Structure 1
Amino acid sequence: MTSTARERLVLAVLLTASFTLAVDFSILNVALPAIGAEVGFSLTSLQWIATSFALCAAGFTLLFGRVGDLLGPRRLFLGGIALLGVSSLVGGVAETPPVLLAARVAQGLATAAVIPAALSLLTTSFPEGPRRDRALGLNGALMAAGFTTGAILGGLLTDLLSWRWAFFVNVVVAVAVLAVAPFVLAESRPARRPRLDLPGAVTVTGGLLSMVYGLTSAAEHSWTDPRTLVALLAGVVLLVVFWQVEKHVAEPLVPVPVLRRRTVAWGNLAGLLAFATETSLVFLLTIYLQSVLGFTPLSAGVSFAVLGAGTVIGGIAGPRVIARLGNVRALVTGLLVQAGATLSLVALGDSAGWLPLLLVATFAGGVANLVAIVGFMVTATSGLPDEEQGLATGLATMSQQVGIAMGIPVMSAVVGLILHAVGDDGAAATLIALRTAIGVNAALCVAAAVLAGVFLRAPRRRSLVLAGSGNAAATARH
Structure 2
Amino acid sequence: MTTVGTGAPGAARQLAPPSRMDGRTRLVLVVLLVAQFMLAVDFSILNVALPVIGEGLGFSLGGLQWIATAFALAAAGFTLLFGRIADLVGRRRIFLGGMALLGIASLAGGLAVSPGMLMVARVAQGLATAAVTPAGLSLLTTSFPEGPLRDKALGLNGALMSAGFTTGAILGGVLTDLLSWRWAFFINVPVALAVVVAAPALLKESRPRERPRLDVPGALAVTGGLLALVYGMTAAGDHGWSGPRTLVPLAVGAVLLTGFYFLEKRSAAPLVPIRVLRRRTVVWGNAAGLIAFVTETSLVFLMTLYLQQVLGFSPLAAGLSFGVLGAGTVLGGVLAPRVIGRYGSRAALVAGGLLQAVATASLFALGDDRGWLALLLAGTFAGGVGNMLVIVGFMVTATSGLPDAEQGTATGLATMTQQVGITLGTPVMSAVVVSSSGALLDGIGLAVLVNAGLVVAGALLSGLFLRRT
Gaps of 5+ in 1: 423-428, 459-477
Give distance in 2, aligned partners of 1:178 and 1:406.
31
Give distance in 2, aligned partners of 1:190 and 1:387.
6
**Secondary structure, aligned partner of 2:444:** helix
> For residue 441 of structure 2, what is the aligned residue in structure 1?
431
> For residue 26 of structure 1, what is the aligned residue in structure 2?
44
> For residue 6 of structure 2, what is the aligned residue in structure 1?
none
Give distance in 1, aligned partners of 2:254 and 2:434.
24
Shift of 1:457: 1.9
Deviations 1:181-221 (A, max 9, x none): 01100011321111100110111111111111111111011
> For residue 54 of structure 1, what is the aligned residue in structure 2?
72
* Runs of 4+ residues deviating >2 angstroms: none
> For residue 473 of structure 1, what is the aligned residue in structure 2?
none
Give distance in 1, aligned partners of 2:54 and 2:278.
46
Matched, 1:109 2:122: no
Matched, 1:441 2:451: yes
Query: How many residues are paired up?
Result: 450
Matched, 1:258 2:293: no
> For residue 156 of structure 1, what is the aligned residue in structure 2?
174
Give distance in 2, aligned partners of 1:239 and 1:268.
16
> For residue 267 of structure 1, what is the aligned residue in structure 2?
285
Asked if 1 retains the 8 angstrom alpha-carbon contact of 2:277 and 2:283, the reply is yes
Give distance in 2, aligned partners of 1:332 and 1:119.
24
Matched, 1:209 2:227: yes
- Percent identity, aligned pairs only, is 69
Matches within 5 A, 1:148-187: 148-187=166-205
Give distance in 2, aligned partners of 1:222 and 1:365.
29
> For residue 8 of structure 2, what is the aligned residue in structure 1?
none
Among 203, 208, 211, which residue is 1:193 paired with?
211
**Secondary structure, aligned partner of 1:195:** coil
Give distance in 2, aligned partners of 1:457 and 1:323.
15
Give distance in 1, aligned partners of 2:86 and 2:350.
31
Give distance in 2, aligned partners of 1:122 and 1:374.
14
Matched, 1:451 2:461: yes
> For residue 427 of structure 2, what is the aligned residue in structure 1?
409
Amino acid at match of 1:371: L
Deviations 1:50-100 (A, max 9, x none): 111111111111111101100111001000000000000000000111110
> For residue 36 of structure 1, what is the aligned residue in structure 2?
54
Matched, 1:98 2:131: no
Asked if 1 retains the 8 angstrom alpha-carbon contact of 2:207 and 2:405, the reply is no
Give distance in 2, aligned partners of 1:291 and 1:43.
19
Give distance in 1, aligned partners of 2:207 and 2:257.
30
Amino acid at match of 1:306: V
Give distance in 1, aligned partners of 2:189 and 2:347.
40
Among 280, 300, 310, which residue is 2:298 paired with?
280
Amino acid at match of 1:442: A
Q: From the superposition, tell whether residues 3 and 441 of structure 1 become closer, same or farther in structure 2 (CA, over 3 Å).
A: closer
Matched, 1:10 2:20: no
Amino acid at match of 1:432: D
Amino acid at match of 2:358: G
Shift of 1:3: 6.7
Give distance in 2, aligned partners of 1:378 and 1:399.
14
> For residue 466 of structure 1, what is the aligned residue in structure 2?
none
**Secondary structure, aligned partner of 1:384:** coil
> For residue 5 of structure 2, what is the aligned residue in structure 1?
none
> For residue 472 of structure 1, what is the aligned residue in structure 2?
none
**Secondary structure, aligned partner of 1:30:** coil
If the length of structure 2 is used for normalisation, what is the TM-score?
A: 0.95
Asked if 1 retains the 8 angstrom alpha-carbon contact of 2:21 and 2:149, the reply is no
Deviations 1:262-302 (A, max 9, x none): 00011101101101110110011001100000000000000
Give distance in 2, aligned partners of 1:284 and 1:20.
24
**Secondary structure, aligned partner of 2:22:** helix
Give distance in 1, aligned partners of 2:132 and 2:259.
27
> For residue 346 of structure 2, what is the aligned residue in structure 1?
328
> For residue 382 of structure 2, what is the aligned residue in structure 1?
364
Give distance in 1, aligned partners of 2:181 and 2:408.
35
**Secondary structure, aligned partner of 2:312:** coil
Amino acid at match of 1:379: T
Shift of 1:409: 1.1
Give distance in 1, aligned partners of 2:82 and 2:322.
32
Give distance in 2, aligned partners of 1:200 and 1:206.
10
Amino acid at match of 2:143: S
> For residue 7 of structure 2, what is the aligned residue in structure 1?
none
Matched, 1:74 2:84: no
Deviations 1:406-438 (A, max 9, x none): 1111111111222xx34xxxxxx1111111111
> For residue 378 of structure 1, what is the aligned residue in structure 2?
396
Give distance in 1, aligned partners of 2:424 and 2:385.
22
Gaps of 5+ in 2: 1-19
Among 403, 414, 425, which residue is 1:396 paired with?
414
Amino acid at match of 2:401: G
Deviations 1:374-400 (A, max 9, x none): 111111111111101111111111111
Give distance in 2, aligned partners of 1:69 and 1:332.
32
Amino acid at match of 1:250: A
If the length of structure 1 is used for normalisation, what is the TM-score?
A: 0.93
Give distance in 2, aligned partners of 1:347 and 1:53.
35
Amino acid at match of 1:445: V
Give distance in 1, aligned partners of 2:158 and 2:193.
24
Q: From the superposition, tell whether residues 152 and 3 of structure 1 become closer, same or farther in structure 2 (CA, over 3 Å).
A: closer
> For residue 425 of structure 1, what is the aligned residue in structure 2?
none
Amino acid at match of 1:431: L
Alignment RMSD: 1.0
Give distance in 2, aligned partners of 1:134 and 1:147.
20
Give distance in 2, aligned partners of 1:114 and 1:417.
38
Give distance in 2, aligned partners of 1:252 and 1:384.
16
Give distance in 2, aligned partners of 1:352 and 1:436.
20
Give distance in 1, aligned partners of 2:296 and 2:232.
21
Matched, 1:346 2:364: yes
Amino acid at match of 1:123: T
**Secondary structure, aligned partner of 1:394:** helix
